[in-house]
Amino acid sequence: MWRDLNARELGAIRPGLVITNVSSRRLHSLELSTQKEIVSDYDGGINNLQVDRTEGRYLLAGSSDGSVGCYDTLHRTSVESHSRSHIHDAIFKVDRRNPRGHKYAVSSVQWYPVDTGLFVTGSFDHHVNVWDTNNLQAELQFDMPGKVHSVSMSQVATSHMLIAVGSEDPMVRLCDIATGACTHTLVGHRDAVLAVQWSISCEWTLYTGSCDGAIRFWDIRRAGSHKVLDQHNSQMGRRHPVLKSTPDRVRPIPRDAAKESPTKLLKPASGDKSTKTSSSHGKSIAKKVATAKRLHPGMASVENRATAHYGAVTSLTPTNDGQFLVSAGADSRVKLWDVDSGCNTLVNYENTRMQRSKATQLAVSPDSSLLFVPTSTVIRVYNLWTGRVLKTLRGHYDTVNCCEFHPYAQEMYSGSNDRKILLWSPPPPVEVDEDEKEGKDGGASEKGAFKARPDEDAWSD
């Protein structure tokens, strides 16, 4: 039925279906843009990119030379004469010449979630800076015990303004912009933390990935992590977690057992020794269950040594609905996790090759259908749910470090060690010349084929 309907009839039946299909096809046709060009004049590679979520206009870029640049993605600064492409220069740039600028590589950048008046940067110089966008001055500076690999602020938080910081120190630190102090330290990892990411469905939940191969879920309102992901705990697709039976669980007596041996169900005499034995055994079971209930879940998870990757966890990216989490590791594996159950969904992503000792940035399309993974000098586009490679984007000349998908436009930005920021977008629509169109119509009329203009009736004089 659907094959016989055209786009207009299909849209009348299901209005959103045609728009979704067209949008999906455009996302699958991403290529190096010929309409826009990002001018990146840096002395080092591009480590991290982010487009603000409030206006969807400004792009932040952190470089290995210690500088941070900002670009206006909507309004061009000039137009290139021979190619007619829109040139986007940096509207401001903060480098080492600033009194409180970073001295070493900027590893992570983050816009303030409320507006674009503030932005946060983390660097290998052991500092996290909070910048005022208007005067380009660092209003706050947090000292860390080691190199800062990742910073993150919650996009849905209404009760706190905390910056989660992952550094060379195994402890994850939460810095409060309101007080200017470090308020929390989350203890559980055994090695450097390369990736931190807030949940987009709960303002109190934080995801962290470490060089010890573990991914931990934290509720910052209590001590300890409440969940540690295990790569061997898997499920096919999405389903509710199954309650596992324990040796101490008392199993119900089958109905057939009462018919076969009714004497075993009789209550023994008061002086029988078996009564004391069974009662003491029952007390021990009750004591174990009570102890397990009293044990703090955070303390239990600290002792858990489960791993999500065979090596360092280099990236964490949640889907836009917050139900799944994508992780990448130094074992050159990309995995999709069910957030509710904490299970590995066993999606096999083909031909992945990740950096082993550096944090990377993956990107997910707004409809959560495509996954962009930096793989050596190329970017592989995967179907998020099947793991199949749909396309390979080639344009960089060195290792790609980061990908950022525009939240409101069908554009993707990538940064590499070749010091370039490339823009990927669907191809522009093909423009038909009016003279050529009229010539084709005239040739058809000479052959005797009658063709009416779109704005005229076929029966009019």
Q: Is the pLDDT of residue 283 over 90?
A: no
* Element at 327 (helix H, strand E): strand 324-329
Tokens of 37: 């060009």
Burial class of 89 by CB neighbour count within 10 A (0 to 12, 13 to 18, 19+): middle
Q: Which of 171-175, 378-382, 416-420, 443-447 has the lowest mean pLDDT?
A: 443-447
The model carries a pTM of 0.77
Tokens of 106: 């900027």
SS3 324: strand
Q: Is the pLDDT of residue 291 over 80?
A: no
SS3 441: helix
Q: How far apart are CA 75 and CA 87, in angstroms?
A: 9
What is the average pLDDT across 232-254? 53
Domain 27-238+299-425 CATH (choose: 3.30.70.1150, 2.130.10.10, 3.40.190.10, 2.40.10.10): 2.130.10.10
How is 232-254 classified by DSSP, letter by letter?
TSB-SSS-PPPPPP-TTSPPPPP
pLDDT value of position 346: 93
pLDDT value of position 23: 61
Residue partners of 43: CB distance under 8 A and separation at least 6: 63, 65, 67, 419
pLDDT value of position 355: 72
**What ranges do the domains of the chain cover?**
27-238+299-425
pLDDT in tens, 8-17: 443 443 444 3
pLDDT value of position 85: 80
Percent of the chain with pLDDT over 90: 59
- Residue located via tokens 């900027």: 106
C-alpha distances in Å from residue 351, one per residue of 307, 337, 380: 22, 19, 9
Residue 328: beta bridge partners?
Answer: 315, 334
Report the chain's mean pLDDT, rounded to a whole number: 80
